[in-house]
Structure 1
């Protein structure tokens, strides 16, 4: 990170607009994440309602959601290995381009015709493929922009900005669907990917050392697997989230829009509930900017339990105001987990292997999502919507309780960052004393 140029002696120094540790790359990454989240949170709602507006059922919504997550799962490991071999910002820009094209085609299809189920599944699958290559590269790039001593605050601020955009995206998306239809929301998402890709193209990677050539893609994947499987805290929480993310995705992507349509009044109230979740994540991020719990994973795991509340709230179903309150609490809780998780990964995983390990994290955490979302419709038919939602709540609680039995989850503590190396001794150059 380059220091800002010294001000001329005759001028009053300008007030800093950002913290000293938030350099150019961090600002670009944060700004791009804000833009994409503004678009994508509304687009997720729009995709579900695009299916329903064509006469689709809960089964069809589940298939379209599964079509997005299946290629995401299949290509994550390859994406992580590539992100540790190629410049990460190039991978991110290429992925954003694919997302832009696929969402633009989806929008055009919805706006100009009668979209078929297979067409919507294909285009969402392309979007999921782009995300598979983007996520491991993005996490590795973000971690390379901050030092250990600032990581907790940096991750909290990044997630607060990202989730804050999600609030506006979800609320605006729900309102736009009600006013103009799902197609325009998908078009906005395509434009957001184009803008974010342009921002990420200007990232400075000169400070990142070149990686030594490895033994090939399979060798890189094996190295990442060794890093993953030798850490019980890592694979146990990833297994936990394979179940948790799967059932939460089924509840929010499939059952949520159906409950909203049948009992809450349509897309706008559901968008408001999702926006309240986003407000909660901002509250959690603000909390984590000031709070640095010593037992990172223990605190984080305890905060996963409230994630069962939205499924339970939809099962009853709660009135809109109560559902919004539940979503607010769950947003705070998951953000506390998220910052502690990123801090732990930053502390424990070597930077040069981070994208591969992150890919295994994403792969495991999302592995059950295509199956869970695809089975949401059949489960509703077999057991009823309310029973299926209570099942989702139970499947959040059970694996979360089980992961607390892993000793490392209870024992890993925050370590102070390693001391920075002292500057080499020697006479100070005369030019260094002269204002530049």
Structure 2
């Protein structure tokens, strides 16, 4: 009797075979190379024109506030117009703002006011591109390939985060901040035209913009898994930023070897982000939201290590694990969001979620400033770690979380 050969296993189709997705990844990578240098260049632009911490604070505020204020507008537009056109216009506005800033810095005409105005325009542009991005990816890539696509998007951007600041430091040191800002403007412009070529259809909507916003809020509130994740995420982000970004360098100066050791910690965290993206390329969990929530818990580890005064090797290991957990959380959360929110609502749902996370930034810094006036820094670090663990555990108790699972091939 003739034997029948066993069928060969089907090869998993990668999103990189999708030409529009390759265009999207390329645009993201190019833009990331400029964005990684921009913060350092911006800071030294303020310093070179005689500004101090107060002036830099004003500039950073004018960059972040419009993003939060206009996010809901950007979310509504992302569900009403072509997302590729919205991404094009947002990146073009950012290119114009950074280009104008580069010219004023190069010619010696930069002032705190002019830098703040350019920062305001860049922040406004971000408010319109953030809600459109997730919806654009979901339009380009089939649902079963979304996790791999999100990991592929994170991988090069994480690599740039490791190398970008160092390269930016060299550019600023030898050529001045204007050249780094000009490069940032150029990358935004190139990304804008690449994204316009996607030619994505506009979601089908009806009714007024205000009515869409009300419907969006009703849809957001009706999804328990979504608003509870946003609420717990606001607490988690506030505690993480307060503990790691604000108190971390202070404790490093007191307990460790200052800037040198803190640079190693930051590098370990960035390496963890890279490793987390690699993990998500290979591992495809079924319970996406459960993994997204649980993977945020390791963020408490470096805060506990610093709070307890453990040696540097323990802190490096904790920072590495925190980076891995954070990237796994981001990729699985983004995938769950894209797979379980309808195309016509992705922009508004993303905006509501992003507003919560962005409000966590000033909230975390303010509460930390108040707490450090009462407790020691190490006590505040342990408290921040406790908030992260508590937010994670409480969110894992939400039953609706366990029905938001992966779409399989």
Match of 2:162 in 1: 167
Change (3 A) 1:198 1:332: same
Answering whether residue 191 of structure 2 is matched by residue 199 of structure 1, we say: no
SS at match of 2:20: helix
Answering whether residue 325 of structure 2 is matched by residue 330 of structure 1, we say: no
Please say which of residues 28-37 and 212-221 is displaced more in the overlay.
Answer: 212-221
* Aligned positions of 1:34-433 closer than 5 A: 34-48=29-43, 54=50, 56-57=52-53, 63-110=58-105, 113=108, 117-177=112-172, 182-205=177-200, 208=201, 211-250=203-242, 254=246, 273-311=265-303, 325-373=317-365, 389-416=381-408
Please say which of residues 169-178 and 146-155 is displaced more in the overlay.
Answer: 169-178
Gaps of 5+ in 2: 1-12
CA drift at 1:279: 2.6
Distance 1:241 1:303 in 2: 12
Distance 1:261 1:190 in 2: 35
Change (3 A) 1:252 1:98: farther
Cα RMSD over matched residues?
3.5
Deviations 1:338-374 (A, max 9, x none): 1211221122111122111111111222223244446
Match of 1:422 in 2: none
SS at match of 2:140: coil
SS at match of 2:199: coil
Question: 8 Å contact 2:135–2:338 — kept in the other structure?
Answer: no
Gaps of 5+ in 1: 1-17, 418-436
SS at match of 2:285: coil
Question: 8 Å contact 1:148–1:347 — kept in the other structure?
Answer: yes
Distance 1:118 1:385 in 2: 35
Please say which of residues 175-184 and 81-90 is displaced more in the overlay.
Answer: 175-184
Aligned length: 395
Question: 8 Å contact 1:65–1:370 — kept in the other structure?
Answer: no
Question: 8 Å contact 2:158–2:270 — kept in the other structure?
Answer: yes
Distance 1:277 1:46 in 2: 22
Question: 8 Å contact 2:225–2:401 — kept in the other structure?
Answer: yes
Q: Which has the higher helix share?
A: 2
SS at match of 1:367: helix
CA drift at 1:241: 1.6
Distance 2:190 2:307 in 1: 39
Change (3 A) 1:122 1:242: farther
Question: 8 Å contact 1:62–1:253 — kept in the other structure?
Answer: no
CA drift at 1:142: 0.9
Please report the TM-score for the alignment, with normalisation by the length of structure 1. Answer: 0.77
SS at match of 1:144: helix
CA drift at 1:48: 4.7
Distance 2:124 2:369 in 1: 24
Question: 8 Å contact 1:83–1:91 — kept in the other structure?
Answer: yes
Change (3 A) 1:380 1:41: farther
Change (3 A) 1:275 1:109: farther
Deviations 1:221-262 (A, max 9, x none): 122112211111100111112222234345566556777899
Deviations 1:157-188 (A, max 9, x none): 12212222222223323444555555543333
CA drift at 1:336: 1.0
Match of 2:18 in 1: 23
CA drift at 1:92: 0.8
Deviations 1:249-294 (A, max 9, x none): 455665567778997665x876665454333222112211221222
Please report the TM-score for the alignment, with normalisation by the length of structure 2. Answer: 0.82
Distance 1:383 1:65 in 2: 28
Match of 2:8 in 1: none
Match of 1:421 in 2: none
Question: 8 Å contact 1:61–1:254 — kept in the other structure?
Answer: no
Distance 1:249 1:127 in 2: 22
CA drift at 1:310: 4.6
CA drift at 1:44: 2.9
